Amino acid sequence: MTRLIMTVDDSASMREMVRATLTAAGYEVVEAVDGQEALDYARDNPCDLVISDVNMPRMDGITLVHELRNLPHYRLTPLLLLTTESSAEKKLEGKRAGATGWIVKPFNPEQLLATMARVL
Amino acid sequence: MATRKLPPALPQFSHIGRFWDREHHCFSAKLLPGEYYVTTTGEQIATVLGSCVSACVRDRRTGIGGMNHFMLPQDASRGTSVWGAAVSAATRYGYVAMERLINDILKLGSSRDHLEVKLVGGGKVLGASAIDVGARNIEFVRRYVSDEGFIVAGEDLGDVHARKVQYSPSTGRLRVKKLKAVRNDTLYERERSYLEGLEKQPVDNDIELF
């Protein structure tokens, strides 16, 4: 069965880049423009994996990870943060919120897919 | 006599060179290829562009804004277009140059709806024999702002000249002086070594699994 991946980013070009990479690899992709939209979707819809930006309006990616971990059907879902942020403090915040991993942009498509395969 | 006290730079920009601009009576940050700068204090941002491009971005309400200075690395494997079916490494590099600038402005309390964008640079400065790297940079930056839904309030792109650029985020004013004759090759050498540096950069991701 096709795996469903949610990509969360306030930048349309970034969502498009992730979508192009993932659909070419056979994944099904659903998009959200910020953490709030992602959380609203996630409440009723389990995904197999979430790739989220960190800095976004309304709800940032770290808060989204924290909120998703409170949903029973997202407790074990791999949650990857994909961001231009690379500071140790931010990474630690992401880890504490319950993120599975941290990927610094610009992402390399092959490595993103390999990382996903490891955690799925 | 008015005091000229250098306003504090945001912490992430403490390495950027700044000087007092006597002509415009303000402090000015000077960008080299690959750098960007965001200011909240009414400073000006200056640079010289050959085939590189700069995006000037500001919040219309608050006057907080900044400018970048970048070019796309060569990407021979993907043909001439920077927006092929596959996402090229060059495009991803340009994307990050834009996102860093925009994110730093958004973090200061702005929102995407209030951003005003001006685009400048991308000259075909190296004559007919060279690949038109300026055109690739223009194609990228135009497509990026259009995909992101930003309104371009002004642009001065292309042509065959280098440009001296001064941008004031507090007013949105962009001054461009076309350099009909470049006195020496410093500008082109700087762009060339920037480009060579980009091509040597490892393409590996910084990935950490917790």
DSSP characters for chain B? ----PPPPPPGGGTTSEEEEETTTTEEEEEPPTT-EEEESSS-EEEEEESS-EEEEEEETTT--EEEE-B-PPP-GGG-S-SS-SS--HHHHHHHHHHHHHHHHHHHTT--GGGEEEEEEE---TT-TTS--HHHHHHHHHHHHHHHTT--EEEEEE-SS-EEEEEEETTTTEEEEEEESS-SSSHHHHHHHHHHHHHHHS----EEEE-
Q: How confident is the model at residue A107 (pLDDT cuts 50, 70, 90)?
A: confident
- B108 and chain A: CB distance < 8 Å anywhere? no
Given CB atoms, is B11 within the 8 Å cutoff of chain A?
A: no
Token pair recorded at residue A59: 């709800």
Can you give the pLDDT at residue B81? 46
Which of A102, A103, A106 is opposite residue B92, by nearest beta carbon? A106
Contact B95 A95 (CB under 8 A): no
A45 to chain B, any CB pair closer than 8 A? The answer is: no
Q: Could you tell me if B148 lies within 8 Å of chain A, comparing CB atoms?
A: yes
Q: Do A111 and B86 touch (CB under 8 A)?
A: no
Please give, rounded to a whole number of angstroms, the shortest distance from the CA of B158 to a CA of chain A. Answer: 23
Type of residue found at A79: L
Asked whether the beta carbons of residue A103 and residue B107 sit closer than 8 angstroms, the reply is no
CA A37 → CA A9, A44, A52, B90, B148, distances in Å? 10, 12, 12, 30, 18
At residue A111's C-alpha, the angle toward residues A107 and A112, to 5°, is 60
For an interface test with A, the pick among B38, B68, B72, B87 (most A C-beta atoms closer than 10 Å) comes out as B87
pLDDT at B130 over 60: no
| B191 phi, psi to nearest 5 deg | -65, -40
Confidence at residue B197, expressed as pLDDT on a 0 to 100 scale: 83
Residue B205: predicted pLDDT: 66
Mean pLDDT of the A83-100 span: 93
- Where do the domains of chain B lie, and which CATH numbers do they carry? 14-200 (3.30.1330.200)
Q: Quick one: tokens of A6?
A: 């949610």
- Contact between B53 and B120 under an 8 Å Cβ cutoff? The reply is yes
Chain B residues touching A95 at Cβ < 8 A: 210
Q: Is A104 in Cβ contact with B207 (below 8 Å)?
A: yes
Size of interface A-B (CB pairs under 8 A): 81
- Pairwise CB contact (< 8 Å): B205 & A112: yes
Backbone angles phi, psi at A109, to 5 degrees: -55, -45
pLDDT band at B80 (very low <50, low <70, confident <90, very high): very low
Q: Is the pLDDT of residue B48 over 50?
A: yes
CA distance A40 to chain B (A): 21
User: Between B173 and B136, whose confidence is greater?
Assistant: B173
- Tell me which of B184 and B100 has the higher pLDDT: B100
CB of A23 within 8 Å of a chain B CB? The answer is: no
Q: How confident is the model at residue B184 (pLDDT cuts 50, 70, 90)?
A: low
- Residue among B158, B74, B147, B198 nearest A16 (CA): B147
pLDDT for position B79: 44
Q: Which fold is adopted by the domain A4-119?
A: Rossmann fold (3.40.50)
CB contact B203 to A (< 8 Å): yes
Determine how β-strand B115-121 pairs with β-strand B152-157.
parallel
B149 → closest Cβ in A12, A100, A103: A12
Query: Which residue bears the tokens 């930048």?
Result: A11
What ranges in A25-105 are assigned the alpha helix state H?
A: 35-44, 61-69, 88-97
pTM of this prediction exceeds 0.90: no
pLDDT at B183 over 70: no
On the question of pLDDT at B126 being above 80, the answer is: no
The alpha-carbon gap from A45 to the nearest alpha carbon of chain B, in Å, equals 25
